[in-house]
Every structure is written in C-alpha cells, then in structure tokens.
Structure 1
Amino acid sequence: MASVLSDMTRDAEVQAAIAAVRDPEIDETVAALNFIVGTKIDGDSVTVTLRLPTFWCPANFVFLMGGDIRDAVLALPWVRNFKFELVDHFAADEISRGISERQSFAQVFPRHAENDLGDLRLAFDKKAFLMRQEALVDFMRRAGFGDEFLIRMSVAELDGLADAQGGELKTLAGDYLAKRRGIGLANDDLAFTTAEGEAIDAGALPRHLRHARKVTMSAQSNGEMCRILMAARHSGAACAAHGFHSEKGNS
C-alpha cells in the first residue's frame, strides 16, 4: 500500500510540475493546450511524452517547451533521470534526444542555430509581459483605478495592494510581476512600464494598451488554432485506433 501511495504522490508531483510549464508563444500551459500525451514513472526516472498541434511546429519553439518541461520535472527532489519523447513531429528524434541529454539547441541543430534561443525566449517573454499587463490594467480599470494612479504606482505598491485585496487581483498581479522579473525589470521601479522599462505617461497609455491588446488577440487566436488542430489530431488518432479513416488524422 505504501508503494502505491508513493507512486500516486509522485505522479501528482510530476503532473503539477508540468502544469506550470507554458507554451512560450501563447503563454498558456501545455496541460491546458492538451500537448501532454502521457507520463511514466519508474523509480526515480520520469518520461514525458509530448504531441503538438502539427507535424511542422517550429523546432525552436518545441525545444524551449521541452527544456522547460525537463527542468520542471528535474527540480523535483526525488527525480534523478529524465527522458523526453516527442511524437508525430518532423524533428522528433533530434529534439527528443537533445532534451533528454540536456544538449543545447545549437548542439542539436548546428547548421540552423545562430544562438542558444536566448533572444527568442526574451522576445516571447516580452510579449507575455504585455499580455499579462493588459489583462491586469483592464481588471484594475474596471475596478475603478484611474490611469493617473496606475502610471505612478510602484511595484511595491502593486504588490501590497494585491496582497491586501487578494482574489483575481492577486492572481493577475502575481503572474504579471513574475514575468516582469523574468525580463529583468527592477523591483524598485514603476509597476507599469514598457517591456524595456520605460515610463508611460497618461497620454501614451491608451496607445500602449492598444498595442498590448493586439499582442493578446494574436496569441489568443494562435491558442484557439492550436486547440482546433489538437482536436483534429486526437480525432484522427481515435479513428485510426478503431480502424476508421479520417482526413484530419494527417494534420
């Protein structure tokens, strides 16, 4: 019984670790996007299998996600070995091996990589920063906070207000401030700035938020397309398993 409970606990820990990993372009979790095919635990070894919406998803995007999944699972104190399995993808073998062996993207694809994906990750993180900022500002505006107040609020003031009020504000502010730190902006600065850390005056705020909203809408559209394509893939797999033909199965 103890072994069964241990296995269940470890599986729950692995699922929780993976649930925090996000698609870097869309800023939604890989679990919510239904990218995880399955996990396998064998003692202190974990295998995670991933399937993406299409056979041709960009290899660099996949590599970022795979690396984040690996790092999240290996952060669990009892995990000693990790294996990554990407299926139904044009570079499945190369990416699976590279992620499992902790190689860099440049090592796996030396002819196609000019750097180690740092610039790409930063570009995605800045987009996610704008998306989270737009969601937070929209919530705070609807809650009655004016633009003049928002553009003068410090990080410490936002953090304190979120702790005091709790609820959705705390969640939105926590996600936003985490991404803000992730792109290297100082904690002793204004809470709402550009992704480069520049102040935004009240007159420029509407234009800035329109740009952020466009980024959000683009990511949401991509997310919806991912869900449609994933549903088609799952439908095709189910048909194949029962001996039926589906035109969607090759998507």
Structure 2
Amino acid sequence: MTVTTAGTLRSRILAALGGVRDPELDEPITVLGFVASCTVDSDGQAEVHLRLPTYFCAPNFAYLMVADAYDAVSALDGVRRADVILDEHFAAAAINQGVAARAGFVGSFGAEAAGELDALRADFLRKAVLAGTDQVCRPLAAAGATPDDLAATTLGEVPDTPALARLRRRRAELGLPAGDGAPLVIDPGSGTGVGAAAVPLHLRRARLTRTSLEANTGICRGMLRHRYQIDPEAEDES
C-alpha cells in the first residue's frame, strides 16, 4: 500500500467514524471530539483511539461507541485489521478486550451486566426522534401551522431540510414509518400518529427532549476540552 493509498484509507476511516454517534447525545463522535487519533499503516492495519469527557462515563454508553466504531472501521475495504481502543476510562480494559473479541456487553462485563444494550439503544433513538420532531415542527408552527395542521401533515409535505432527513433516518433506524406518506407527528414508541388534541403536549415533550440533548452536549464538550486542554478555536479549525 502506498503512502497516498494509506492516506486515502485514513480519510475513509474518519468518514466512517463520522457515522458513529454518542447514543445519548445523538451526535457523531468525530464532531464531539471523541476521536483522539486515527492511523493506518501500509498493510491496512488501522488503529483508532477514543477518549471521553470523564474517566467515569457510563460503561454501557462507552461500550456502544467503541463497538460501533469497530464495526464501522472493520467493514471498510482495505482495512485488514481494526483496533479501536478506548483510553483513560475506568472500564477501558473490559471494553477494549470485549469489543476485540466480539464478546458483546454481557460477555465483556459478566455478572455486572444486566443484559445486552439493544433496549438502551432503542430508548435513545426514541429520544432522538422526539428531538428531531421538535426541530422539524417548530418552523412550521412559527409559520402558522396549527395542531390540527401538524397532526394531518405527512413527511412528504414538509420542506426538505437536513433536520427532516435526520428525522427520517432516526425513525427508519427504529423501524418506524419514514416514507413520504407517514405522519409527521408520531408516538416514537408505537409509530402511530398523534391526534390533534395531543399534539401540543407531544411537542412540549419534544422540545424538552431537544433542549436536554443540546444542554448535555454542551456540558460534554466543555468537560472534554477541560480534561484534555483542547483549545476551542483550534478544535473548530480541525
């Protein structure tokens, strides 16, 4: 593998890591600054180091990110081996060994684990759907859409925006209706449309969920910068 090819592969690896999200914050780990380093050698062996805002970040969240990063990197053509390593975390050894062995969360933590993490991932996706609903509905309501209007609106009738595309993706990940004919406002638990009378309360929940995610994201960014002495201006330029 030439230097140019290795550099191209590294770019592809970083792009793939951009599809890995913090499950709680619903933001890419690359945007959050959780990717500390990424290298690939001439034999196609990739090594990615991840870092988190605190030493005691929840191990289930950390495991999901490391496992998802491993899956994203190892699936790329040209990557012969992928090592994804979580640094400076109290459960790093168990997580790193478990992910490398494809042991699952229970296999990595044994009796300490209550079960695998599918239900947790689904819970966070439902929150992401709620937050996305607020992002899409607020401009419509500001333009005069009533609860009756919003209850009757389908995804195909909403202007195409990045927020709408993101909402469609999150709904699809949960197995919820995401096509043009699907209702815009749905219960993320059942996938059924929300009636006009219930829309105001539903949108208040959606707004609270969005603001909570944004606040937690800001806190995590600040803690990461403080922990690793990251210059925000340098971070923005990278």
For this structure pair, what is the TM-score category when the shorter chain's length is used for normalisation?
0.7 to 0.9
Q: Distance in 2 between matches of 1:4 and 1:124?
A: 40
Structure 1 residue 4, shift from structure 2 partner: 2.3
SS at match of 1:31: helix
Structure 1 residue 227, shift from structure 2 partner: 1.1
Residues 210-219 or 144-153, more deviating: 144-153
Partner of 1:100: 100
Cα shift readout 1:36-89 (whole Å, capped 9, x = no counterpart) = 110111222211101100000010000111111111112212223211111111
Partner of 1:19: 18
Q: TM-score, normalised by structure 1?
A: 0.84
SS at match of 2:164: helix
Q: Does 1:210 align with 2:219?
A: no
Aligned 8 A contact 1:84 1:97 in 2? no
Q: Distance in 2 between matches of 1:215 and 1:92?
A: 30
Equivalent position to 2:174, from 169, 180, 183:
183
Letter in 2 for 1:178: R
Q: Does 1:84 align with 2:89?
A: no
Letter in 2 for 1:20: G
List gaps (5 residues or longer) in structure 1: 163-168, 237-251
Q: Distance in 1 between matches of 2:183 and 2:145?
A: 16
Pairs within 5 Å for 1:146-157? 146-155=146-155, 157=156
Q: Distance in 2 between matches of 1:132 and 1:202?
A: 19
Structure 1 residue 121, shift from structure 2 partner: 0.6
Q: TM-score, normalised by structure 2?
A: 0.88
Structure 1 residue 145, shift from structure 2 partner: 4.5
Partner of 1:75: 75
Aligned 8 A contact 1:44 1:78 in 2? yes
Identical counterparts, % of pairs: 31
Partner of 1:172: 163
Structure 1 residue 208, shift from structure 2 partner: 0.6
Partner of 2:235: none
Q: Distance in 1 between matches of 2:165 and 2:36?
A: 29
Q: Distance in 2 between matches of 1:142 and 1:97?
A: 50
Letter in 1 for 2:208: K
Cα shift readout 1:150-173 (whole Å, capped 9, x = no counterpart) = 322334x24xx54xxxxxx43111
Q: Does 1:66 align with 2:57?
A: no
Q: Distance in 1 between matches of 2:227 and 2:185?
A: 40
Alpha-carbon RMSD across the aligned residues, in angstroms, is: 1.9
The count of residues paired between Structure 1 and Structure 2 equals 226
Cα shift readout 1:106-138 (whole Å, capped 9, x = no counterpart) = 000111222210111111110111111111111
C-alpha distance 9-142 of structure 1, shift in aligned 2 (>3 A): farther
Pairs within 5 Å for 1:190-229? 190-196=183-189, 197-229=191-223
Partner of 2:121: 121
Letter in 2 for 1:117: L
Partner of 2:234: none
Cα shift readout 1:209-229 (whole Å, capped 9, x = no counterpart) = 111111112111211111111
Partner of 1:131: 131
Q: Distance in 1 between matches of 2:187 and 2:118?
A: 20
Q: Distance in 2 between matches of 1:55 and 1:22?
A: 19
Structure 1 residue 24, shift from structure 2 partner: 0.5
List gaps (5 residues or longer) in structure 2: 231-238
Letter in 2 for 1:227: R
Letter in 2 for 1:30: I
Letter in 1 for 2:162: T
Aligned 8 A contact 2:6 2:44 in 1? no
Structure 1 residue 203, shift from structure 2 partner: 2.3
Letter in 2 for 1:31: T
Partner of 1:5: 4
Partner of 2:236: none
